Amino acid sequence: MRDADYMIVVDANDYTRQRRDNLMRMHHFVFHPDPEADEALLETARSLKSFYFMKDLSPHAPVSQPRAFAAYHRLIAQGALHANLDHVLWENSRLHLSADVKTKPAASPRTDARVRESAGQDLSKQQVVGRAA
């Protein structure tokens, strides 16, 4: 069989208007990353015992409302949060945390390198200050 036997043509008419709007927003926000807001919102979702709506999670997040709204879309696009994409994503949207992100993932080598690098910079600044004193 050829590859064309496994492919179908999809256009915007194959999706509901709400799903198209949500996908468009997710696409926009994914290309405007804010890892700090994403991590803060994800940590907040992990720490809460329960939340049902987007508005239940927002007051507990240590980021502004516009940053949180963008982070919701990015986390849904990444699969960390789940929502019904056939309804417009807004403050009354039902959310739930994906089962595979309920526990904190192991630190990636990239994160570890960044932490070590920043720790080394702070340490070197302290050493310079110590020598000057």
pLDDT per residue over 19-72, tens digit each? 999 999 999 999 999 999 999 999 999 999 888 999 999 999 999 999 999 999
CA dist 38 and 14 (Å) reads 30
pLDDT-derived band at 1, boundaries 50, 70, 90 = low
Q: What is the dihedral of CA 85, 82, 10, 29, to 10 degrees?
A: 80
The pLDDT assigned to 99 comes to 84
Neighbours of 117 (CB within 10 A): 10
Q: What average pLDDT score do residues 114-123 get? A: 43
Sign of the CA dihedral 86, 91, 38, 48? Answer: negative
How far is 53 from 120, CA to CA, in rounded Å? 41
Write the pLDDT tens digit of every residue in 66-87.
999 999 999 999 999 999 999 9
d(CA 28, CA 32): 7
Q: What is the pLDDT of residue 104?
A: 57
Does residue 9 surpass a pLDDT of 80? no
- Where along the chain do its domains lie? 3-102, 105-133
pLDDT in tens, 78-117: 999 999 999 999 999 999 998 877 655 444 444 444 444 4
Q: What is the CATH number of domain 3-102?
A: 1.10.10
Give the pLDDT confidence score for residue 100 in this predicted structure: 79
Structure confidence at residue 11 (pLDDT): 80
